[in-house]
């Protein structure tokens, strides 16, 4: 049976019924693979700056970078919902800039966009939603604020911080967001947020009580240099690549490759 196309409405209907499984993907072949494996949503995350482009953090990722990767993933025509991150400083400057950036992401193939932040981006989220662009929120740890935070840390440890995260969640829901990513918070805080909103919550480093989970593909496959402690590695593709490339180099050096079945005289 052919898999149904997953939409924003599907995500909303899944809350309380079925857990949502999301992964990042940044290019055509990985999008084909994760989609065929059955993920509900693919995020073209600005984490590509770290795991693909080798930056220290996500701040150097530009809209031009994102457009290339979103278009590549969209060419896989995934059944999964295709969400694109809004990169640093494409929405903090206000709703008009946000609309312009989000429109480009949508034209590249995104079916929803994800800016980072809570109450402070209420106007941005509301304007995008009014324009017909679905918004996935991102609260808890916001990696685009790494300089102000002083590193990638667990947030929401004090009651004051936990309340702020809950207020952020409610504000984004009121602004029209259809789902929320909650990153790096104690499991109890993620549970409180999940129970206090009608839209699905999707956790990364937030424990098991959310409506879904998301991880970075390179962490799952064992391809990241510095994976976070909350990311489970499901495969060791780095070893498989090193082994395959090592054997290729060895065979070329020894004149074993190409053997007759790989060429014509
Ligand atoms: O950029 C990204 O991959 C993300 C996830 C960590 C949620 O925003």
CATH 3.20.20.60 domain extents, the chain:
8-234
- Predicted local confidence at residue 80, as pLDDT: 98
Residue with tokens 């609309």: 99
Q: Is 163 annotated as a binding residue?
A: no
47 alpha carbon – ligand 1 mean position (Å): 6
- Of all residues in the chain, the percent with pLDDT exceeding 90 is 98
Q: Is 85 annotated as a binding residue?
A: yes
Residues with CB under 6 A from ligand 1: 24, 43, 45-47, 85, 181, 183, 204, 214, 216
Regions of the chain short of the pLDDT cut 70: none
Q: Is 114 annotated as a binding residue?
A: yes
- Predicted local confidence at residue 1, as pLDDT: 74
- Predicted local confidence at residue 56, as pLDDT: 96
Query: Looking at the domain 8-234, which fold is it?
Result: TIM Barrel (3.20.20)
User: Which amino acid residue places its CA nearest to atom 3 of ligand 1?
Assistant: 45
17 alpha carbon – ligand 1 mean position (Å): 24
251 belongs to the catalytic site: no
Residue of 111, 167, 183, 195 with catalytic role: 183
């Amino acid at each position: 049976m052919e898999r149904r196309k997953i939409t924003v409405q599907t995500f909303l209907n899944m809350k309380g019924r079925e857990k949502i499984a999301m992964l990042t993907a940044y290019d055509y072949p990985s999008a084909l693979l994760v989609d065929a494996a059955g993920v509900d949503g693919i995020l073209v995350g600005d984490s590509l700056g770290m795991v693909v482009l080798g930056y220290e953090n996500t701040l150097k990722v530009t809209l031009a970078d994102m457009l290339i990767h979103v278009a590549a993933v969209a060419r896989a025509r995934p059944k999964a919902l295709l969400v694109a991150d809004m990169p640093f400083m494409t929405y903090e400057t206000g709703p008009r800039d946000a609309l312009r950036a989000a429109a480009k992401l949508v034209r590249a193939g995104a079916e929803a966009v994800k800016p980072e932040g809570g109450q402070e981006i209420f106007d941005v989220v509301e304007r995008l939603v009014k324009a017909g662009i679905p918004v996935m929120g991102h609260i808890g740890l916001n990696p685009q604020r790494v300089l102000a935070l002083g590193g990638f840390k667990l947030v929401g440890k004090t009651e004051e911080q936990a309340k702020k995260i809950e207020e952020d969640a409610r504000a984004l829901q009121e602004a029209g967001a259809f789902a929320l990513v909650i990153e790096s918070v104690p499991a109890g805080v993620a549970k409180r947020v999940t129970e206090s909103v009608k839209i699905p919550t999707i956790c990364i480093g937030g424990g098991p009580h959310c409506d879904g989970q998301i991880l970075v593909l390179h962490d799952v496959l064992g391809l990241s240099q510095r994976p976070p402690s909350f990311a489970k590695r499901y495969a060791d593709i780095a070893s498989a690549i090193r082994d395959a490339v090592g054997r290729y180099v060895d065979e070329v050096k020894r004149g074993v490759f190409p053997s007759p079945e790989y060429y014509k005289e």
